[in-house]
Chains A and B, each alone.
Chain A
């Protein structure tokens, strides 16, 4: 940033005065920090300026959309985490059903509000262009859905099913319910901004059907990374179940987790760096659960139930790791 005096003086003399006064007001965003105020006098009619105005609006539209998606994705993450916490409160058959009901309600909420809005934002876009904005939220959501499915039915939900839940039938006509209005508004706002990108994008003709399907694309990689996070929840579930004196669930869980872990290992490191990192975290969860099961087998008969949890959590391998990232 340190510029020699000479250059500085040159610039200052020729441009600083007039250019700054005439143009700095409207055209330069505050974030651009060219501190010296070197603003060559190029008028608004110049071809270059005109072209860059177009670029500006195109980039701004893209960044705005990105920001909106990041925000939605963050909300999805928070809500999904809450659902997961809710499911961890299941401590026996009595409260299981009501908690699962509640969790299902929450998931449906997430789908209907946030995820559908994401789907709307992404309509007609290349799903991978904004992948980085929505991916964290999606993964967390997948984790929650998988956990819910496992808690209720003791099985792994497939990608097809996850995708199936993210297909929305949306009314095409101006709906009277607030949901339609709500979600169609941002689109209306975005339209002028995206004029260049979306202006002539053929929307499905409104007269064709009353409903159309709007699908939120879930990439297989996101799904698999969601599964990896899900095993962390299984580990917690295992430790919790020991805490409440359930001595069968841990063995059921350890078998299931091993199976997942085996499948993951088969994939090796092809899916990418993020996957490899999650795989090593997964390994820790699995061995934690295995140790817990070992402890149950060996000492379960001699230790009073209320002390088992202490015994398990004092195992050497029980270092806390961050599973939610």
Chain B
């Protein structure tokens, strides 16, 4: 019967491990839920830019969104406490979605403010996490890239709505921006995973924006200042987009 007790102890140990694991996951889930709530609030705030008067208020909306986004710093700190050191990737699935979402929101805010691509450092800073894996809790590169791809779909929507709101130069700038993003993404050797799948959708966003640019240019709606050909290499004007 010595065997029996040995086997039993092996499995009771494993059972204990499982129980602990479940507890940790439960706590992580609670922390992530709070972050998802914040992300939704920021999203709702930024939705305002699609309103016909919204683009003029973009700076104000961004400021508000930035404020809201700041709460994620403490929420990430909270989450970080719950994830055992060196086990980031064991539980990564729990916050993968929300960190993609937050990357997207940060990128959108930065785009609306300065019409440029957010850097990974900025996003990590906004969330109060590190960029490098070695420092423990960090922003995963693939999550960040997913966030950028979400930005592209949001901007293709914005291109359409800005035309409706009577802003005819914005789609051209968005087109330039997305083209640049596309160039960047095509430098990457993606594996056949979710990031690749999302990237495959980028061309439809590009196409949508190109069509908008086409529509306004054949009708002579495009302001002369906005540059030459569709998606041409004219540098984007660095206005805040409030005019």
Q: Is the CB of A14 within 8 A of B15?
A: no
Within 8 A of B (CB), among A100-128: 124-128
Q: Is the CB of B11 within 8 A of A266?
A: yes
Q: How far is the CA of A28 from the CA of B185 in the complex (A)?
A: 10
A271 on interface, CB distance cutoff 8 Å:
yes
Which residue from chain B places its CB closest to the CB of A54 in the assembled complex? B120
Most buried by B among A47, A48, A260: A48
Count of A interface residues, CB-CB < 8 Å: 60
Contacting residues, chain B, for A320 (C-beta < 8 A): none
Q: Is the CB of B141 within 8 A of A263?
A: no
Contacting residues, chain B, for A27 (C-beta < 8 A): 186-187
A201 on interface, CB distance cutoff 8 Å:
yes
Q: How far is the CA of A237 from the CA of B230 in the complex (A)?
A: 72
27 A-B pairs with C-beta separation under 8 A: A6-B211, A7-B211, A14-B229, A14-B232, A39-B186, A40-B231, A40-B233, A42-B183, A42-B233, A47-B116, A49-B184, A51-B184, A55-B187, A55-B188, A59-B189, A128-B88, A128-B89, A131-B89, A131-B90, A155-B3, A155-B6, A156-B6, A159-B14, A220-B14, A220-B17, A263-B11, A270-B18
Q: How far is the CB of B174 from chain A (nearest CB, A)?
A: 13
Taking A14-B229, A267-B18 as contacts, is the C-beta distance between A40 and B13 under 8 angstroms? no
Which residue from chain B places its CB closest to the CB of A42 in the assembled complex? B183
Interface residue ranges, B against A (CB under 8 Å): 3-4, 6-8, 10-11, 13-15, 17-18, 22, 86-90, 92, 116-117, 119-120, 132-134, 141-142, 145, 179-191, 203, 207, 210-211, 214, 229-233
Q: Is the CB of B133 within 8 A of A3?
A: no
Q: How far is the CB of A123 from chain B (nearest CB, A)?
A: 12
Contacting residues, chain B, for A55 (C-beta < 8 A): 141, 145, 184, 187-188
Q: Is the CB of A158 within 8 A of B188?
A: no
Which residue from chain B places its CB closest to the CB of A264 in the assembled complex? B11
- Tell me which of A59, A154, A259 contacts B141 (CB under 8 A): A59
Interface residue ranges, A against B (CB under 8 Å): 3, 6-7, 10-11, 13-15, 27-29, 31-32, 34, 39-42, 46-49, 51-53, 55-56, 58-60, 63, 124-129, 131, 154-156, 158-159, 196-198, 200-201, 220, 223-224, 256, 259-260, 263-264, 266-267, 270-271
Q: Is the CB of B141 within 8 A of A7?
A: no
Describe B's contact surface by its main secondary structure.
helix
Taking A11-B210, A40-B183 as contacts, is the C-beta distance between A59 and B8 under 8 angstroms? no
Contacting residues, chain A, for B184 (C-beta < 8 A): 48-49, 51-52, 55
10 A-B pairs with the lowest CB-CB distances in the bound complex, closest first:
A52-B184, A263-B11, A128-B89, A40-B179, A128-B90, A129-B89, A42-B183, A126-B89, A14-B229, A52-B187
Q: Is the CB of B13 within 8 A of A48?
A: no
